[in-house]
Structure 1
Amino acid sequence: MNKFQLRPYQENMVSEILGSLAQHDSVIGQLPTGGGKTIILSAIAHEFIKRGESVCLLSHRDELVNQGAAKLEAISGQPVGIIKSGYPDDGDRLIQSASVQTLVRRLRKYPADRFGAIIIDEAHHAAATTYRKILNHFPAAYTLGFTATPCRGDGAGLDDLFSHMVTGPTIRELIEAGHLSPYKYLAAEKSMIVKGAKTRGGDYTSKSLARLNPRDQLAADLVSSYRQHCDGLRCLIFAIDRDYSKAITAMYQAAGIAAIHLDGETPSEVRKAALESFQAGEIKVVSNVGLFKEGTDLPAIEALQMARPTKSLGLFLQMVGRVLRPAPGKDEALIIDHGGNWERHGLPCGDRTWTLEGVQKPKRAKRLVKNAEGEIIEWEPVELIQTNVTTREIQPGNVDHGLQGRSPELDGFWKMALDELLKEREAMGYQKGWVGYRLKDINAPLEVWRAAALELGYKPGWAWYKWRESRAA
């Protein structure tokens, strides 16, 4: 190894993985995005090289192949060959960085004992047939996977590919240690519609999401929330599909904000120039489709807008991981969730227990309360932010909804409507739950539910639970 210095937790992971490989022939390491997995796998590769064994790093995208080769060479101090279309064969080099698609076509060129270890970058993809063909071709090689999210798109585990898992520090621990950026998480009060969306491969289909969510309205909402909460910051957007991303970009440009759309079909030289301009602050907003989920090291990203809902915990964590890399002058990252993803997956720093069988559900900051019918329910604590575009800040530790000791202020129509319902209930002798049914009928906003909870003597969580229930109806 050269001058690169391992952090203490990285040293621990290297030691634990090498120890595990003495007992298991297939090990997967889990480390949050931005935790420095490349330096860890480089240190492990170096140990194999010292024993005279060669190593192959597998990546599923061409850009990751080149990035992996450059980082491995810089960190290990060893020349790295590239197995990819259009590159010369440097087969004598002990470290190879290979494209999965290229290597699977060239397997006949390589003897079964060519590599002592196969290292799989973004190993949550390893269940694909191409990976299995490669691993079967090199049966004697150790298999080491690395990923921030060791689960498939549908949440299933990887226990059929790996026999042992080594986990690193959590997102929360990396933030507390200063290795990831602290963040503020805002969520749109009216999140994108998913009711009626079709699911394929464990996630919503882009086509059905596009059908349910008006494109121009979404684009306008994104520009509005950007203006209110992160005006002037460098922002990355994840969009539903190419048409949506282009419409979002056009809306930003019409508002006088320097923005560009990028996707997998954008020429590499255009992407490179755009990211350099983004890094320099000349471009403020990059809207993308499926391009920056993995393997993108852009600490310049200061804000993130999620303009796509996802059922996939892995995709959610990959998206938010883009904005959590620390950078000089970046005191706090900003995440604006227009897709309601926090309701499905919790917050980025939520406690998660990763296993080979998948991930246990995050321990969200919830309390048990009783609803009007005496049933035990759970509720998610949030803090509301009063702005022109209605968003709320999601904070795990804030458990009183801001209701204790004060009454939400209502005026106009909603004050009159709630007053009338309360008077009618008292006059007719109805149960308290009757007010909730009527609020649901008239599609009352959250602040009305909050005021009703206080008037009826319910705990604060009742308002949040019933309001969310009314939205799903």
Structure 2
Amino acid sequence: MLLLSHREELVRQPAKYFPCSFGIEQGKNRSRGESVVSASVQTISRRLEHFGRDDFDLIVTDEAHHAVAKTYRRIFDYFRPRLHVGFTATPNRADGLGLEGIYEDIVFDRDLPWGIKNGWLSDIYCIRARIDFDISQVARRLGDYAPGELEKAVNIESANQAIADVYRQYAKGPTLIFAVSVAHARAIAEKIPGAVAISGGQDRSNAVEAFARGEIPCLVNCMVFTEGTDLPAVETVIIARPTQNIALYTQMVGRGTRLSPGKDHLTLIDCVGVSESSCLYTAPSLVGLEPELIPERVIDEVQGPLFDLPEIVAREMDKPEFYIKNVEYVKLWAKKMKYQLHGVNWFRMPDGSMVLSKPKLRIPPPDHLGRIHLCNGEVVKAQRVYDRVYKWLCRDHSDSRALWDVGRARNGWGAYMATEKQREMVCRMFPETDVTNMTKFEASQILTRVFNG
């Protein structure tokens, strides 16, 4: 078996799990035909000529979302194993490249909520801390904030002091803080007694061991502990590195979800400043709540146990003003997820399911891999489902297109003033709602939500 990893810690960690000969191919270390060889991707890609193409029956790639990179492909193209298995907690890459060219199928998948609910991972208590920085004008590159601009916006004296104050007020037990840059990590660590800043280029093994023994209360790092590092004792994670990349956010949070004796839960603290907020990932994203669908004045109220967050959001947004804006929310969501909805007048419910009022239809929400589990047991890519529905509507319900086509509904009949009956129904259910200038389309959005809730 060949185990492929891309970090020093990951290459050595697996040795304790194998009761057979175990070799390491990394730096000065060379394997000698052991049953299991754990290799650094960077090292073995330069030593392929020292191995036979059929030396390994099985290749296992850790952090397999990296597998589309050229270095990995060079290894995969050289060896001829019977089987190649990849493991990753973040199958969605920021650059949009899929893993279909490397792997044939997803044979096993579990998400973070499943791990928590089934006792494999620690529960999470979520806190949202307002910090004095402004990232609303920071440019976006490759699916996330531009690092240089982000560092300038976030690494400021007042914000760093506020992060230290948040640590003192809310952190419990061993704490891991994620910073934007090495300079940012050092600036934060200077304000927290006993804290140590960790960077990628240094030998961090001593600091990690001291942290595990409880001798260091807080580690502040920049992109060092996002993958693979095993730190089960972590009881608090502070995200001081704003991100628009859900994979990166999940990786950072994941460093604190390992179980450990005496650990009741993970305290997750999101440090947020002024931002455009439409794509800033925070705790609600872990349970499938899309940031662009939650207004900022609502999301600031979303704190507490992780699995309570959907109910909090639903309660805060269970108001006619948000029902009316559903069209914009659906449009933003579809654009971000790269779904083509064909102009169908979908109403997206709080649980992520999609509803049509006429003809009446409800589609379950996509899972974390973008698949929809249909009631007949079929599992289909979400886009294929939306395509199927559109074809069905065009074929069997073309005579009612003015109802299910959002453009025709909104700009046609829906542009007229709401009927007296519609206004009466809205007033009866929501007495504080002003229906004076309400349109038919706006009234229909409210009623669609109420009668499908």
Give the TM-score normalised by structure 1: 0.61
Structure 2 letter corresponding to 1:149: T
Of 7, 12, 37, the match for 1:61: 7
Call closer, same or farther: CA 1:329–1:402 in 2, change over 3 Å. farther
**CA-to-partner distance for each residue in 1:96-126, whole Å, 9 max, x for gaps?**
1011111111111212212122111000111
1:30-429 paired onto structure 2 within 5 Å: 55-68=1-14, 70=15, 74-90=16-32, 92-190=33-131, 192-230=133-171, 233-252=173-192, 257-267=193-203, 271-339=204-272, 344-345=280-281, 347=283, 350-351=286-287, 362-364=288-290, 383=301, 395-398=309-312, 399-401=314-316
How far, CA to CA, are the matches of 1:107 and 1:93 in structure 2?
Answer: 16
How far, CA to CA, are the matches of 1:367 and 1:197 in structure 2?
Answer: 21
How far, CA to CA, are the matches of 1:243 and 1:193 in structure 2?
Answer: 18
In structure 2, what is the equivalent of residue 434 of structure 1?
none
Call closer, same or farther: CA 1:338–1:363 in 2, change over 3 Å. closer
Call closer, same or farther: CA 1:456–1:188 in 2, change over 3 Å. farther
How far, CA to CA, are the matches of 1:284 and 1:334 in structure 2?
Answer: 15
CA contact (8 A) 1:262 1:286 kept: yes
How far, CA to CA, are the matches of 1:97 and 1:157 in structure 2?
Answer: 25
CA contact (8 A) 2:21 2:36 kept: yes
CA contact (8 A) 2:278 2:291 kept: no
Match of 2:86, SS? Answer: strand
Cα shift at 1:214: 4.3
Cα shift at 1:306: 0.7
Match of 2:138, SS? Answer: coil
Match of 1:97, SS? Answer: strand
How far, CA to CA, are the matches of 1:234 and 1:225 in structure 2?
Answer: 14
CA contact (8 A) 1:192 1:213 kept: yes
Call closer, same or farther: CA 1:309–1:131 in 2, change over 3 Å. same
Match of 2:187, SS? Answer: helix
Call closer, same or farther: CA 1:146–1:76 in 2, change over 3 Å. same
Call closer, same or farther: CA 1:152–1:402 in 2, change over 3 Å. closer
Structure 2 letter corresponding to 1:239: A
Structure 2 letter corresponding to 1:293: T
Match of 1:163, SS? Answer: coil
> Unpaired runs of 5+ in structure 2?
320-429, 435-453
How many residue pairs match? The answer is 320
Structure 2 letter corresponding to 1:75: Y
Looking at both structures, which has the greater relative contact order when contacts are Cα pairs under 8 Å and sequence separation is at least 6?
1
CA contact (8 A) 1:235 1:285 kept: yes
Cα shift at 1:384: 6.5
Cα shift at 1:339: 4.2
Match of 2:92, SS? Answer: coil
Match of 2:75, SS? Answer: helix
Cα shift at 1:155: 4.1
Cα shift at 1:228: 1.6
1:17-32 paired onto structure 2 within 5 Å: none
**CA-to-partner distance for each residue in 1:311-348, whole Å, 9 max, x for gaps?**
22111110000111121221121111114789644637
Call closer, same or farther: CA 1:279–1:75 in 2, change over 3 Å. closer
Match of 1:85, SS? Answer: coil
CA contact (8 A) 1:184 1:393 kept: no
**CA-to-partner distance for each residue in 1:120-148, whole Å, 9 max, x for gaps?**
10001111110000100114542211000
